[in-house]
Amino acid sequence: MATLEPGKQAPDFSLNTLDGKKFSLRDAAERGPVILAFFKVSCPTCQYTLPFLERLYKAYGNKNVTLVGVSQNDKKDTAAFAKEYGITFPLLLDDTERYPVSNAYGLTNVPTIFWIAPDGEIELTSVGWVRSEFEQINRKIAELTQVAQAPVFRAGEDVRDFRAG
């Protein structure tokens, strides 16, 4: 099964957050678009990508759009990853034996990012690190929050155009 593409309906799900709360895609989508970032702590491209997502989270908060990570690891490893990479946005725990949500979304690689509209339609799918797609996500968040686009890349920082997941 290939990763779900734009135009498809996002499978609904509920997962526990790292701090033990329930997260429901349906409930989050009622408040606005949802960005799901699937990752594995041992993945070098995930280690590269999630700190950039953290910058988006810090720049915009979860105003008008909800950003969450979906970990394919257990609570202990996910918490260690969040601490090491400075991740403060909500992290969800997919079942580490069966990965029901990852499988429902047809994941073949991580990181995989989905932009899900309030009606549940997938508007954007990004696999691996693709700078132009990340910049598109930044523009979409800025438009939704009606603020100037946040500068997420720092001067002199080596930001790759592409890294396979």
DSSP 129-147: EEHHHHHHHHHHHHHHHTS
Q: 24-126 in CATH: which number? A: 3.40.30.10
Question: Is the peptide bond preceding residue 11 cis, with omega within 30 degrees of 0?
Answer: no
Domain ranges of the chain: 24-126
Dump pLDDT digits (tens) for 101-125: 999 999 999 999 999 999 999 999 9
For the whole model, what pTM was predicted?
Answer: 0.96
Dump pLDDT digits (tens) for 38-79: 999 999 999 999 999 999 999 998 789 999 999 999 999 999
Dump pLDDT digits (tens) for 25-49: 999 999 999 999 999 999 999 999 9
